[in-house]
Structure 1
Amino acid sequence: MFIQTMSSLTSTASLLHTHNLIKCHSHHSKHFVPTIKASISPQENVAFRRKIVTTLLVATSLALGQQLSGRGNPPALAAEKWGTRSFIKERFFEPDLSPEESVARIRETAEGLHFMREMLDRMAWRYVLFYIRLKQAYLGKDLKIAMSTLPQGRRKDYVIKANELVENMSQLDKHVRSPKVYESYVYYEKTLKSIDDVVALL
């Protein structure tokens, strides 16, 4: 009986050991993560990076070439209207113009303000205000530069009209910002008259 009991204990221990081995094996196989190797060799990776750098350098060179080739062209003022399509260019990238170019831009600004009536009629206040402020940003500078083209005898009248123009545009900005419809139209008409008077003196 003792021998039978020992035999059964040995059998039970063997079964438990086998069960633990199976459980341990299944546990390790469950968390096994296969190693994935890159399919691109280091040489191919270096070649790919060189290709990207070369492409960027070529694109930059072409852009610079186009920019430099455009410097021999006439001023942009002679090629385009100073309207809504050149907002960013006018505000940030245009250098000071010559007196003759400043006179031409004042005339273009006068035309643009006349064409602004449609935006005002539609009460597109945001666009009207944006347009006015953009023109104000460089108009004062243009008025000063353009004065050098006038003879000494006309400069006094020019200064008076230029100051009226600046004041009327400031009031137009104020009433469009509110917005007040009647006052906006009143100062819009005053602005048109002032800039037409300035253009007539140039």
Structure 2
Amino acid sequence: MALWNSAEELGKFNSYLQMGLVIFGILTGLIGASSFIVSQRKDLLTGQEEASLKAKVADISSRTTNINDLPQRHLTVQQEEIIFKASKEFPGTKLLSIRSNSKESQQYAYEIEAVLKRAQWNVDQFLTSSGRNVAEPTIGLREDINSSPAFEALKKSFEEAGLPFKAGTFTGGNAETSLDVGIVPANAYQSLIDKIN
């Protein structure tokens, strides 16, 4: 209690309190300034991250809007009828349908196969494991067969239907004719999907 009874001691104690208050004020100011600086830095980084994300979204958007849809070939009802009318005259004809590594080609081949099956043709499929290289549509006659009215009728029906198939020959197997709808050019996205599938 000597402190309370001595003016000199109280003066010293008051000086210490004032110095503590000054130090506290300085610390408060430093903390406030540090908080302000940290807040500004955080806002700057947040803005940069947002700008970066917006740029990435814009880049992805520009790349995906430039992707053209893969052309999808389909038979019209009229084309189906032309092929059916010609092929129904030769029931039991054996055809080997060569399926490639392309979803579009497989779907197109399925449509033609369905018409030939409806005409009572015996259709077998062969799924190749080759890459997705662009190929022209072809129909083939087994090379050890000199002539085939069924093949000629199929070839003529494709011409009448406006389907751009080349005629050729193939070797081996017991099928009289072959069908390969070929592969249309694909964009990078479709090529990747075909590889995955």
Q: TM-score, normalised by structure 2?
A: 0.30
Q: TM-score, normalised by structure 1?
A: 0.30
**Which protein is richer in helix relative to its size?**
1
**Which protein is richer in strand relative to its size?**
2
Structure with larger RCO (C-alpha < 8 A, sep 6+):
2
